[in-house]
A and B are shown apart, each in its own frame.
Chain A
Amino acid sequence: MAGNHLAKTAFLSKFIFRLDRLRIPLWVLSLTFFTIIVPSSFKGLYSSQQERDAMAQTMANPAMTAMTGPADLSNYTIGVMTAHQMLLMTAAVTGLMSILLVTRHTRADEEDGRLELLRSLPVGRLSYLNASLFTVSAACIGLALINGFGLYALGIESMDLEGSLLYGAALGASGLFFAGVTAVFAQASDSSRGTIGYSIAVLLISYLFRAITDISNESLSWLSPLAWVTKAEVYDSNNWWPIVLMIAAAMVLFAAANYLNAIRDLDRGFLPSRPGKQYASRFLQSPIGLALRLQRTGIISWAIGMFVLGASYGSVLGDLESFFSDNEAMKQLLKPTEGVTLVEQFIPMLMIVISLMATIPPVMAMNKLRGEEKKERIVYLLSRAVSRSKLLGSYFVISVINGFLMLSLAALGLWSAGDAVVEGGLSFGMIFGAALSYYPAMLVMISMAVFLIGFLPKFTGFIWLYVLYSFIVLYLGGLFQFSDWIGSLSPFGHVPQAPIEEFSIIPLLLLCLAAGVLAAAGFIGFHRRDIE
């Protein structure tokens, strides 16, 4: 009978491979790329053991342990350094890959009715689930081998074959484990959103639980599967058992998913889907309320993300001196100035990164309007007593406030973590002021998005190229020594770099003016054009 349940699994696996023939290689290759590039650049940046020990010192604080997990800092070779700083993060991203791939070919296909079509054909009850698991498993094994041999092929002294293979295996095992978690949730939840949501929640909770227990009680962190990755102590003691444990756990989850799939009906789940609201709240009943409601989850996640980003930058401020004393590349990136502390010199560079990152959510909030238009949903609003200005205005207001919130949260995160680790503390006013001086530049970006939506709706996505351009030119500008005009093509290039430069209000006022003009033009264009 089991054979019947699994009929045509091999065929379906090939079919899924075909569907994802770009997606899977892209995931594997980009994960491999980041894994390989880091040790090679570490080799250049920290060529002597002295420099590495300085780095180890920077890492020896609870904030860093919370972020990257524990490591043997007394034996900080390039291998240990790579595993310490990269492995856990990459494992988490591999987990994300599995979550998205497995959901796509389990609950998402079921929800959209494609599984029903397949099941009407002579394929087994459990075939599609196992084909999907097989495909993802193959991707994980491929990832493990490519990364393992790839790292070894770098020929770095402290990165031997066993360690490299273990590194790859740790990534692959994380992928398998989260594929299992997702497969179980795909049975339990009755929607693909739910499946992704619950699975990512498990991923985040594993990470956070590990972060907390790594600081407070390391043996407790054995309870988090993501912690097993760091327990393998890759390139150090090369402990294979945690990885074996992880693969075994994945197999148990695979079996559980199969069991749950076998005992349930198509389109059903085990977790009750709560009935929604019968009536709309007062808040929802306006264009701006609707726009906010649609973006709620995104805004909250970005807000948390920005705070964490700020805090993680802040946590390294304390050890800046030791971090930079021997680092030539970083010295070039920063422009050394007399009479300012290293922390103060470092702040403007952080602010460029933070403000550009903080520009992403408000621009997304603005472009959401275009997304709604493409899905033909703004017609429902415009065919009622809602003017185009009110509609565009709602998204614009949300976007402008969103940007301010993101920038403030990142500054707050930076300050609260930095204040704790920097000797003598940090001035909140200085940090907040430095962050806010980028707000006008961010407004220009938002207004540029409004302008595109109004005049060139087909090219709304081009705003991202402009954001990327700003990032490359301004973040790496010092390193590549671009001429000034290249930076001045981006609004972010006109912001005075407080606290190292003299603060001047005039460029900020001009940026605000430019933002105003662009936005006004966008509103006029939106008024005149056809809606899709």
Chain B
Amino acid sequence: MSLLKVTNLTKKFGKFTALDGVNLELNAGEVLGFIGPNGAGKSTTIRVLLGILKATDGEVKIFSKDAWQDAVDIHKRVAYVPGDVNLWPNLTGGEVIDLFIKLNGAANKAKREELIDKFDLDPSKKCRTYSKGNRQKVALVAAFSSDADLFILDEPTSGLDPLMEKVFQECVMDVKKQGKSVLLSSHILSEVEKLCDRVSIIRQGKIIESGTLSELRHLTRTQMLVDTKLPITGLNELKGIHDIQESKHGMTFQVDTTQMDDVIKHISSFGIIRLESAPPTLEDLFMRHYEGEKDTGGVR
């Protein structure tokens, strides 16, 4: 069942088109990665989802309700964490957490204490004294203590240290286990890779790629390192081989995932000593899309 469905969403600010026909879908119990470069429209999309900006065109449904019209109803089951957390300087972290939890509706006191402890946050300090990471922890503790069904997280870990990022990842896994859904906008691709079932990539207000990680990988290349008894010949003639380089450990090259079978058959005839392969990272994917679009001259 789709919890969140965005169909053909367009948002214009005056003449500037920030979002141009965006489609998104998030099912129950799923974690959707939402990635894209700065200014691509991630935060604008999220603000439309939250009913803070009004869509110029298109349909945005959350829990089968309209994101603008029924914002308050929807928000009873939504927890949101912004990337840039700007808190009231003269309230303490604990006060802000309680306020947020209360405004969300259902509160879970035990969970609050547990999370404050896990995130190693001092709730008795004024927000003015918190660093960026600590302010983010306040928002994260409030979000994960709430009893929401949908978590909308907009670059929530940009200020956290690796240890705290791990705590964050555990929190996401936890809510996923409970059958809740997460929309995770992020720059940290390893995080998206680890947590997300599906990924949507946005660029200049348009979704340019959408699918499960394996689906997206299918479109990409695998990095290979091969050392053989006899020198490999005829690699160049094979289809789907790129970027061949010789090193003292052997040959490295990239293979289109679809041509893998032919390539392995070919090189195995030279007597394999060592074979290493690395799956394409999301980063490769990401870079290919952005760089590819940037220099459309076709260097690749």
Q: How far does the alpha carbon of A529 sit from the alpha carbon of B47 in the complex, in Å?
A: 13
Is the beta-carbon distance between B102 and A280 smaller than 8 angstroms? yes
B100 sits at the interface (CB 8 A) = yes
Closest to A294 in B: B88
Interface 9-residue window, one of B120-128, B194-202, B230-238, B268-276: B120-128
B157 sits at the interface (CB 8 A) = no
Contacts of A284 in B (CB 8 A): 91, 95, 98-99
Interface 9-residue window, one of B49-57, B214-222, B257-265, B286-294: B49-57
Contact of B126 among A276, A383, A528 (CB under 8 A): A276
Q: How far does the alpha carbon of A380 sit from the alpha carbon of B97 in the complex, in Å?
A: 11
Contact of B94 among A193, A279, A528 (CB under 8 A): A279
Is the beta-carbon distance between B94 and A383 smaller than 8 angstroms? no
Contacts of A275 in B (CB 8 A): 124-125
Q: How far does the alpha carbon of A281 sit from the alpha carbon of B96 in the complex, in Å?
A: 11
Is the beta-carbon distance between B103 and A381 smaller than 8 angstroms? yes
Contacts of B88 in A (CB 8 A): 290, 294, 377
Nearest chain B CB to A269's CB is how many angstroms away?
12
Nearest chain B CB to A339's CB is how many angstroms away?
54
Closest to B126 in A: A276
Interface 9-residue window, one of A258-266, A384-392, A411-419, A452-460: A384-392
Contact of A278 among B51, B73, B123, B126 (CB under 8 A): B123
Is the beta-carbon distance between A530 and B104 smaller than 8 angstroms? no
Interface string of B113-143 (1 = CB under 8 A from A): 0000000000111101100000000010000
Nearest chain A CB to B239's CB is how many angstroms away?
51
B80 sits at the interface (CB 8 A) = yes
A341 sits at the interface (CB 8 A) = no
Is the beta-carbon distance between B102 and A386 smaller than 8 angstroms? no
Is the beta-carbon distance between B72 and A385 smaller than 8 angstroms? yes
Q: How far does the alpha carbon of A278 sit from the alpha carbon of B117 in the complex, in Å?
A: 13
Given A276-B124, A277-B95, A385-B105, check contact A376 B84 (CB 8 Å): yes
Q: How far does the alpha carbon of A281 sit from the alpha carbon of B152 in the complex, in Å?
A: 27
Nearest chain B CB to A166's CB is how many angstroms away?
42
Contact of A386 among B53, B87, B103 (CB under 8 A): B103
Closest to A388 in B: B71
B65 sits at the interface (CB 8 A) = no
A382 sits at the interface (CB 8 A) = yes
Nearest chain A CB to B286's CB is how many angstroms away?
27
A191 sits at the interface (CB 8 A) = yes
Q: How far does the alpha carbon of A376 sit from the alpha carbon of B47 in the complex, in Å?
A: 12
Q: How far does the alpha carbon of A376 sit from the alpha carbon of B53 in the complex, in Å?
A: 13
Is the beta-carbon distance between A276 and B99 smaller than 8 angstroms? no
Contacts of B100 in A (CB 8 A): 380, 384
Given A280-B95, A284-B99, A380-B100, check contact A193 B90 (CB 8 Å): yes
Is the beta-carbon distance between A277 and B92 smaller than 8 angstroms? yes
Q: How far does the alpha carbon of A275 sit from the alpha carbon of B152 in the complex, in Å?
A: 32
Nearest chain B CB to A290's CB is how many angstroms away?
6
Given A293-B91, A530-B52, check contact A384 B75 (CB 8 Å): yes
Main secondary structure of the interface of A (DSSP, over half): loop
Number of residue pairs A-B, CB distance < 8 angstroms: 107
Given A383-B50, A384-B75, A531-B52, check contact A277 B87 (CB 8 Å): no
Closest to B104 in A: A384
Interface residues of B, count at CB 8 A:
41
Is the beta-carbon distance between A377 and B76 smaller than 8 angstroms? no
Is the beta-carbon distance between B86 and A375 smaller than 8 angstroms? yes
B residues 53-79 near A (Cβ < 8 Å) are 53-54, 71-73, 75-76, 78
Is the beta-carbon distance between B86 and A276 smaller than 8 angstroms? no
Nearest chain B CB to A123's CB is how many angstroms away?
25
A379 sits at the interface (CB 8 A) = yes
Given A280-B99, A284-B95, A376-B84, check contact A382 B124 (CB 8 Å): no
A286 sits at the interface (CB 8 A) = yes
Is the beta-carbon distance between A278 and B92 smaller than 8 angstroms? yes
Is the beta-carbon distance between A290 and B99 smaller than 8 angstroms? yes
Contacts of A386 in B (CB 8 A): 72, 75, 103
Is the beta-carbon distance between A376 and B86 smaller than 8 angstroms? yes
Is the beta-carbon distance between A285 and B52 smaller than 8 angstroms? no
Is the beta-carbon distance between A531 and B53 smaller than 8 angstroms? yes
Q: How far does the alpha carbon of A11 sit from the alpha carbon of B264 in the complex, in Å?
A: 69
B21 sits at the interface (CB 8 A) = no
B240 sits at the interface (CB 8 A) = no
Contact of A280 among B54, B78, B98 (CB under 8 A): B98
B280 sits at the interface (CB 8 A) = no
Contacts of A276 in B (CB 8 A): 91-92, 94-95, 124-126
B250 sits at the interface (CB 8 A) = no
Contacts of A530 in B (CB 8 A): 52-54
Contacts of B50 in A (CB 8 A): 379, 382-383
Is the beta-carbon distance between B75 and A385 smaller than 8 angstroms? yes
Q: How far does the alpha carbon of A461 sit from the alpha carbon of B80 in the complex, in Å?
A: 31
Contacts of B103 in A (CB 8 A): 285-287, 381, 384-386
B82 sits at the interface (CB 8 A) = yes
- With most chain B CB atoms within 10 A of its CB, the pick from A193, A276, A281 is A276
Interface string of A214-254 (1 = CB under 8 A from B): 00000000000000000000000000000000000000000
Is the beta-carbon distance between A277 and B82 smaller than 8 angstroms? no
Contacts of B54 in A (CB 8 A): 528-530
Q: How far does the alpha carbon of A266 sit from the alpha carbon of B86 in the complex, in Å?
A: 24
Contact of A383 among B75, B105, B123 (CB under 8 A): B75
List of 7 A-B pairs having minimum Cβ-Cβ separation, nearest first: A280-B98, A276-B92, A285-B102, A384-B103, A280-B95, A383-B80, A275-B124
Give me 28 A-to-B residue pairs in the complex whose CB atoms sit less than 8 angstroms apart, sorted by A's number.
Answer: A275-B124, A275-B125, A276-B91, A276-B92, A276-B95, A277-B95, A279-B123, A280-B96, A284-B95, A285-B99, A285-B102, A375-B86, A376-B86, A377-B87, A379-B47, A379-B50, A379-B82, A382-B75, A383-B52, A383-B75, A383-B152, A384-B78, A385-B72, A386-B103, A528-B54, A529-B54, A530-B52, A531-B47
Name A's B-contacting residues (CB within 8 A): 191, 193, 275-281, 284-287, 290, 293-294, 375-377, 379-388, 528-531
